[in-house]
Amino acid sequence: MDNALLITELLDRLSALLGFRISLELLLAVLALVWGAGWFVIRLRKRRTRRLHARQRARVVAELLRNAIDQRSTMEIAFCSEEMHGRKLTAPCSSVEKGTVTVDVTEVEHALDTWTGEPVEVSFKLDYKETSNFYRFDSQILGMRTGHGMAFLDLELPPYIHPVQKRNYKRINPMPSHILGMGLWALDPTQPLPMDSTSLGCAALSYRPGKLTQCSLLNLSAGGMRMGVPQALLQQFPASLTLQSQLLCLLLLRSPDSDHPMPFWLVCTVVSLGEDLEDESTIIIGVKFKVWSLSEVGSSDIFWFPAGKSEEVPPLASWVLRHQLEQNKRRE
């Protein structure tokens, strides 16, 4: 039976089932409509996720810059254009308003209003009771204002502020109360990534506070994490774990703004494996994130985003910074 006959028979059966005649054109139109509606819903959810991430980043940026103003932190401003490359100036941050960061350049010699439009990289330090943290952001000069013997330089408010240290990303030891759960699955890199969490089955290794500890989160950054797993359990893992192995991780973190969970789905590449120097029965696994998703609570849908050139998870970077700020406040 050729394809034309198969299609005709299928249409006849559908027509008999529904009680009215279905043409091939109608069937194709319905399929196209369903596909279009599905595509629209996915785009809408991705757009809403991006807006949520942008709001989270904006809160982190505002809090860091408010701390900089409170501490009268010195901003080191480095010019990035070819004409101005290598030139730097330092000035304290004086105010943050909608879309603008203002620095006081009254004490800077030869500050010029011709700098408007110049791209700059800004670095600053925040001091806490037991530590100092360094940050940077990219911006451009919006203009210069003078009056009453004062001079101010307006910079474009950045969408994101990067932590700066020897490592690529700020690494923290999360407070146990902020880790709501974790699950690990072996991942076959030749297979497509799951788009629905209900298709995964039970995790091979799990952590549930007060109930089950088959793995533990030792530290976390925007680009990766280190976990501890007992050797006996690791030997029962569905796939042999080696460098460059792929893992799927569900990491449930407590939202910094509420007690609600933030379900991060993370595709991880193993970059280090070794015994714990203090406990030989535990294996320390270091991973970096390659693909990620932040799901809505109660939803089984997984919408994947690549880590990109920066190899970081933006909403996780915001969470790490917020968590670090909370830890520093508790130490004060």
Give the pLDDT of residue 181: 93
User: What confidence score (pLDDT) does residue 113 get?
Assistant: 72
CB contact at 8 A, 126 and 68: yes
Query: Which domains does the chain show, CATH number per domain?
Result: 63-164 (2.30.110.10), 176-331 (no CATH)
At 217, is the secondary structure helix, strand, or coil? strand
- pLDDT of 179 reads 92
pLDDT at residue 249, rounded to an integer:
96
DSSP secondary structure string, 261-326? EEEEEEEEEEEEEEEETTEEEEEEEEEEEEEEEEPPTT--B---EE-TTTT--HHHHHHHHHHHHH
Query: What is residue 192's predicted lDDT score, i.e. its pLDDT?
Result: 92
Report H helices in the chain: 3-18, 24-70, 231-234, 314-331
Identify the pLDDT of residue 53.
59
The answer to whether the predicted template modeling score (pTM) of the entire model surpasses 0.85 is no
Q: Which residues of the chain have pLDDT under 70?
A: 1-12, 14-16, 18-30, 45-46, 48-56, 109, 111, 129-131, 164-169, 277, 309-310, 331-332
Burial of 330 (0-12, 13-18, 19+ CB in 10 A): exposed
Which pLDDT score is estimated for 266?
96
H/E stretch holding 91 reads: strand 88-97
C-beta of residue 263 within 8 angstroms of C-beta of residue 295 = yes
HSE of 52, CA atoms in CB hemisphere, 13 A = 16
